[in-house]
Amino acid sequence: MPSPSVMTVKEAAESRRAIRKYLQEPVPEEDIRAILDQVRLAPSPNNFQPWRFVVVRDPALKKRLEPAAENQRQVISTHCLIVLYADMEDVLAHREETVHPGIQGAARERALAAIERAWGEKSVAVRQRFAHGISYIALGYLLLAAEAMGYRTSPMLGFDPEQFKAILELPPHVTLPAIVAIGRGDEPGYPHHRHSVDRITRFI
């Protein structure tokens, strides 16, 4: 059984930090599944859920990815790397999946037609830009869910998406919002250094 979440969201947000050194322990697949089971509940416009994941555990494959991720030490030290990618073409090809089963008949047809009207004429690049941004919601969920399950993470943008796509045999149109090292941490990380609420907020 996966270990239960024992932290509140507040506790997970407060304790989470980027960890770049991991214990040499594999992460059980059931724990990754339990984390992604929470991530998949993230909200998205039209319920499109454009996020997709590749969970890389194969040591040979991970070794090939390391130079494409600037040989960052968290990639080298972790057993498990989660590649987050956005795929709006997959969303639109299976748009039926995104419409709530409670919406049936004429209302369902209208919902599907509205998706076609909104997205049918747009370029693949414009669709992807949208899906890419929305997928960061999933990244936030992932970092907090992993922390609450006792795992530490390191989100990264320091990688070459084209090399990752080639090595992982992903479709050419997809984009990669982030890769995430995950495992049992072997360093404390840095204390948070953040703006205050007042610095980033205006109450009116």
Ligand X SMILES: Cc1cc2nc3c(=O)[nH]c(=O)nc-3n(C[C@H](O)[C@H](O)[C@H](O)COP(=O)(O)O)c2cc1C
Q: How far is the CB of 81 from ligand X (least distance, A)?
A: 12
Among 33, 100, 110, 192, binds ligand X (CB under 6 A): 192
Number of residues that bind ligand X (CB under 6 A): 12
Q: 69 vs 91, which CB is nearer to ligand X?
A: 69
The three-point CA angle 42-45-48 to 5° equals: 75
SS3 155: strand
Q: How far is the CB of 56 from ligand X (least distance, A)?
A: 16
Cα 68 to Cα 126: distance, rounded to the nearest angstrom: 26
Q: How far is the CB of 139 from ligand X (least distance, A)?
A: 7
Phi, psi of 18 (to 5 degrees): -70, 120
Residues 132-171 that bind ligand X (CB under 6 A): 155-158
Distance of CA 181 to the CA centre of its chain: 11
Map tokens 């997928």 to a residue: 135
Cα 166 to Cα 104: distance, rounded to the nearest angstrom: 40
The CA-atom distances, in angstroms, between 24 and each of 27, 69, 78 are 10, 19, 7
Complete DSSP assignment for 165-193: HHHHT--TT-EEEEEEEEE-BSS--PPP-
**Residue 17 found at the interface with ligand X (CB under 6 A):** yes
Interface mask toward ligand X for 41-80; x: CB under 6 A: -------------------------------x--------
**Residue 189 found at the interface with ligand X (CB under 6 A):** yes
Residue type, 103: I
Q: 40 vs 192, which CB is nearer to ligand X?
A: 192
Q: How far is the CB of 79 from ligand X (least distance, A)?
A: 18
**Residue 181 found at the interface with ligand X (CB under 6 A):** no
Closest CA to 164 of 174, 154, 155: 174
Among 5, 7, 13, 18, binds ligand X (CB under 6 A): 18
- Measured from each CB, the residue nearest to ligand X is 158
User: Can you give the binding site for ligand X, defined by CB under 6 A?
Assistant: 17-18, 20, 72, 155-158, 178, 189-190, 192
